[in-house]
């Protein structure tokens, strides 16, 4: 029998709040943090709306470390420290080689890149900032988490656009099942609210001019957000042996590829990932009570995801609670799955399904129970979280009560 993998700590921050508890409380209330962007990022942009972290928590990380970090890495370290603290584990010379980290990111060090282009091309500076390369590399967040927490076990980054966090959970789970580590920090981070990244999204013409309304008939597109989420994963036996509080079980993962189009999703790819996740988790469709949908708020994505859910769950689809928390924290790209992990775990623990905020008009092509605007009390035995990315890289994770 395969070893069970459990979650013993969670951490996160985004526009909804500076820690996992605040993020979840905002989700419970159906409170969207999407609003007007501010700062220099607005120059020349048609995109005026997003979900910003207005003020970072008092993280206490020394300046000698922060000067080597882009914003996306700092988010990851803050979330990882919170998750590790909740888990109750102390990393020292006795276990450091058995604790690692996998951090997903969809973009790169965009803030650093923008700053350097401005210095070089606008201010005519002769050279880039000395830490440009280690700050911008997509794996920087994983390395910074390792250095800041003293983790010497398997540590690496993964990048698969909007499914990066779920691929990180899958990769971390593999390290534990293969016996390469006893504990893994896993999740995702993103800081895409930079001029260059937003100009790129602007060109795609799928960004909403006001807010994110997943599954609502009047939805106008995606909204960008920033943040991070991290979880401490370990085997059930390891957690029980040290007397840890187990929050939930990471029951399984499912992955697939559309092999079709770089941006347009298919029905078959997402459906295959959900089926693979159920099979890996040992769950029947009837065992799942909540689906945290990818739900980006674009016309095509929400319709296709609805059809895929119906294909996988059959008659049980009508009994599912579905919601898109992106309606509240926006689309945090590589970090979305990690923030949505918080929603799934807390839904299981508190018996409360977070809503799809900003919902106004039913769409006959999105006719599942999308939990419009108000959270709903419901026993959640198991929840799945969908991640369907550009490039057709799909990753779905399942959590269940212990």
- Mean pLDDT per 10-residue segment, the chain (402 residues): 97 98 98 91 86 94 95 98 98 98 96 94 95 97 98 98 98 98 98 95 96 98 98 98 98 98 96 98 98 98 98 98 98 98 99 98 98 98 98 98 97
Question: Choosing from 167, 238, 329, 331, which is the catalytic residue?
Answer: 331
CA distance 274 to 307: 12
| CB-based contacts of 121, cutoff 8 Å, min separation 6 | none
Question: What is the reported pLDDT for 260?
Answer: 97
Q: Which two tokens stand for residue 282?
A: 């040992």
> CB of 228 within 8 A of CB of 2?
no
- In whole angstroms, give the CA distance from residue 274 to residue 147: 35
Catalytic residue among 14, 51, 238, 294: 294
CA–CA distance, 76 with 78 (Å, rounded to integer):
6
Q: Which of 9, 25, 7 is nearest to 325 (CA)?
A: 25
Report yes or no: 356 and 311 within 8 Å, Cβ to Cβ. Answer: no
Instruction: Indicate if 331 belongs to the active site.
Output: yes
DSSP 343: H
Distance between CA atoms of residues 315 and 312, nearest Å: 9
CB atoms within 10 A of CB 174: 16
pLDDT of residue 39: 77
Structure tokens at 66: 């922060």
Q: What is the pLDDT of residue 40?
A: 67
Residue of 252, 262, 224, 222 whose CA lies nearest to 393 = 262
- In the numeric block, the tokens 């997903």 are attached to 104
**Annotated catalytic residue, options 162, 277, 332, 366:** 162
Residue 43 has a pLDDT of 75
**pTM of the predicted protein model:** 0.97
Distance CA 9, CA 83 (A): 4
- List domains and CATH numbers for the chain: 5-241 (3.40.47.10), 252-400 (3.40.47.10)
Asked about 162 being catalytic, the answer comes back as: yes
């Amino acid at each position: 029998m395969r070893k069970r993998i459990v979650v013993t700590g969670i951490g996160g921050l985004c526009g909804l709040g500076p820690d996992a508890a605040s993020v979840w409380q905002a989700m419970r209330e159906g409170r969207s943090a999407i609003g007007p962007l501010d700062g220099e990022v607005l120059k020349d942009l048609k995109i005026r709306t997003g979900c910003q972290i207005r003020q970072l928590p008092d993280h206490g990380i020394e300046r000698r470390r922060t000067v080597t970090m882009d914003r996306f890495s700092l988010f990851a370290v803050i979330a990882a420290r919170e998750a590790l603290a909740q888990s109750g584990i102390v990393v020292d010379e006795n276990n450091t080689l058995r604790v690692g980290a996998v951090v997903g990111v969809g973009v790169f060090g965009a803030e650093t890149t923008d700053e350097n282009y401005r210095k070089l091309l606008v201010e005519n500076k002769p050279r880039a900032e000395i830490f440009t390369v280690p700050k911008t590399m997509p794996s920087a967040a994983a390395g910074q988490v390792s250095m800041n927490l003293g983790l010497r076990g398997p540590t690496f980054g993964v990048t698969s656009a909007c499914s990066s966090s779920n691929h990180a959970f899958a990769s971390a789970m593999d390290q534990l099942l293969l016996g390469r580590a006893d504990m893994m920090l896993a999740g995702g981070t993103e800081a895409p609210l930079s001029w260059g990244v937003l100009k790129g999204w602007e060109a795609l013409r799928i960004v909403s001019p006001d807010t994110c309304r997943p599954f609502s008939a009047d939805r106008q597109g995606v909204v960008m957000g920033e943040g991070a989420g991290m979880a401490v994963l370990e085997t059930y036996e390891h957690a029980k042996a040290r007397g840890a509080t187990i929050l939930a079980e990471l029951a399984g993962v499912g992955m697939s590829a559309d092999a079709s189009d770089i941006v347009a999703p298919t029905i078959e790819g997402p459906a295959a990932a959900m089926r693979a996740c159920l099979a890996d988790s040992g769950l029947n469709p009837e065992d799942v009570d909540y689906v945290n949908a990818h739900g980006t708020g674009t016309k095509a994505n929400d319709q296709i995801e609805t059809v895929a859910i119906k294909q996988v769950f059959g008659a049980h689809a009508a009994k599912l609670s579905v919601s898109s928390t992106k309606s509240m924290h926006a689309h945090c790209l590589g970090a979305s799955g990690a923030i949505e992990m918080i929603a799934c775990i807390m839904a299981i623990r508190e018996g409360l399904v977070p809503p799809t905020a900003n919902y106004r008009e039913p769409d006959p092509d999105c006719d599942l129970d999308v939990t419009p605007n108000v959270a709903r009390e419901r026993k959640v035995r198991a929840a799945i979280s969908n991640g369907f990315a550009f490039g057709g890289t799909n990753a779905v994770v399942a959590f269940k009560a212990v």
